[in-house]
Amino acid sequence: MEIQRIDRANREAVDAFILRRWFTLQMVVHGESIDLGSADGFCVCEGSEIIGLITYRITGSEMEILSLDSLHESRGIGTALLNEAIARAKSAGCACILLITTNDNLAALRFYQKRGFDMVRFYRNALHEARKIKPEIPLIGADGIPLRHEIELERIL
């Protein structure tokens, strides 16, 4: 497993990976449209194939994780990528890392809490507003759960 920083050499492959996983480079968080095609991050490769990706942005003293994907669960890919992002946040002088997930993403809530993140905010019906920007956001999420709310998690560094 090799972790690489996203750069010009792998940007096209990273964008293709994002499109395969999310069907778009656009993500809506806090009512803001974010272009994942310009986000910083790291990818994990097996040979020439990307099998995991984390994207983030740093604003002031906060790192915000925008996406985390792994093609193979329970192999440590997500944890390795998260640890790399944590190291980057610390080296950039960040005080905390935050992220938003949706109410249906129970796997993410489990994953992040096991790694020191706490739920700090709940944005009721945030997806209703997000659909005004990105109408293709589905009404039903994982496990048939209605996709309605954003949950913010934070880890103090």
CATH number for the region 2-156 comes to: 3.40.630.30
Cβ–Cβ under 8 Å, residues 3 and 80: yes
Say what the pLDDT of residue 45 is.
93
DSSP secondary structure letters along the chain: -EEEE--TTTHHHHHHHHHHHHSSSEEEETTEEEEGGG-EEEEEEETTEEEEEEEEEEETTEEEEEEEEESSTTSSHHHHHHHHHHHHHHHTT-SEEEEEEETT-HHHHHHHHHTT-EEEEEETTHHHHHHHH-TTS-SB-GGG-B---EEEEEEE-
Say what the pLDDT of residue 123 is.
96
Q: How does pLDDT run across 86-127, given as a tens digit for each residue?
A: 999 999 999 999 999 999 999 999 999 999 999 999 999 999
- In this predicted structure, the answer to whether residue 1 has a pLDDT above a threshold of 80 is no
Enumerate the domain spans of the chain: 2-156
User: Which residue type sits at 3?
Assistant: I
Q: Count Cα atoms within 13 angstroms, Cβ side, for 126.
A: 18
Q: How does pLDDT run across 24-70, given as a tens digit for each residue?
A: 899 998 889 999 999 999 999 988 899 999 999 999 999 999 999 99
Per DSSP, what are the bridge partners of residue 65?
A: 56, 99
pTM check: above 0.85: yes
